[in-house]
Chains A and B, each alone.
Chain A
């Protein structure tokens, strides 16, 4: 029965990911649609920041990830490279969990 889950979820995800490139293709989008697409990146990134920092199963969970986003955010503020930002956030969470 688990194969049913694997099959349906796999097929749905493949369709989701392919929807743009297969259905729209390289067609030029009208200006208003382009404005939507451009605004999608900051919207999606902000949503990912929130869910990955405090997201739980139908809950807001405050844990070590919050400390990580604070120090990681400081690293972003100081214009640190991506890999440094990630290491700073991870090390913060890991150290707090250690003690």
Chain B
């Protein structure tokens, strides 16, 4: 518990570790509006993965190691439709390639040893990454806090899905429409800057132009090249 930060007590008793855990707690709180989706989509993935022949253990292991919804759904759908293991692997890897630029962008916020950074960086997912950047600078506590919350619900939801099946169709309650709106809300503050607005418009145009022609995942990676506009003076 970090006493110094909240009270008039001397800040000397507030260790770095205590500061970090209090920031992570704030991060968990920041992720609370998102709790329903990973649970329901996680259960949906668990059910689909068992149908696809991955087995309950395989489904849970994939959620625990890959921890990226769209890639996991793509891989399981391809396996279920008989598309083969090569197609499933390539599709999932392309979908997750966007985590390279995302990871490079937040590299400097992770403290500690290389092993600790390796472990904690696994909590990078679109939602934790986007929420962590909300204030204009990436925040370690938000990324890790939101990431832990989503990780537990995603892996737990997957396990539930392999046993009891779908909890509730996420699309019936419109959850698939909630996420583009979330990302739009997180994008909005950037649009006040003309340069960021131009970057966003170019990125959106690249994505839209490539969507009909390239495998899923490629448009997002290509769109990240719009950040080269940031070099313009």
Known: A48-B130, A85-B181, A90-B177. A13 touches B117 (CB 8 A): no
- For A, the interface residue count at a CB cutoff of 8 angstroms equals 77
> Which residues of A, 17-49, contact B by the 8 Å Cβ criterion?
17-29, 32, 35-49
Residues of chain A contacted by B174 (CB below 8 angstroms): 64, 68, 89-95, 97
Select which of B96, B101, B201, B223 is within 8 A of A13 by beta carbon.
Answer: B96
Min C-beta distance of A57 to chain B, whole Å: 6
0 or 1 for each of A46-65: is its CB under 8 Å from B? (1 = yes): 11111111111111100011
Q: Is the CB of A20 within 8 A of B79?
A: no
For the complex, give the distance between the alpha carbons of A57 and B66 in Å.
21
Q: Is the CB of A9 within 8 A of B71?
A: yes
Select which of B62, B181, B214 is within 8 A of A86 by beta carbon.
Answer: B181
Min C-beta distance of B31 to chain A, whole Å: 10
Residues of chain A contacted by B195 (CB below 8 angstroms): 39
Of the listed stretches B4-12, B20-28, B118-126, B154-162, chain A binds B118-126
For this complex, 23 residue pairs linking A to B, each with C-beta atoms less than 8 Å apart, are A5-B88, A6-B66, A13-B93, A17-B122, A18-B122, A20-B106, A21-B117, A21-B121, A22-B117, A32-B231, A39-B230, A41-B130, A41-B133, A43-B200, A44-B98, A48-B179, A52-B180, A59-B211, A60-B211, A65-B176, A65-B177, A85-B184, A89-B174
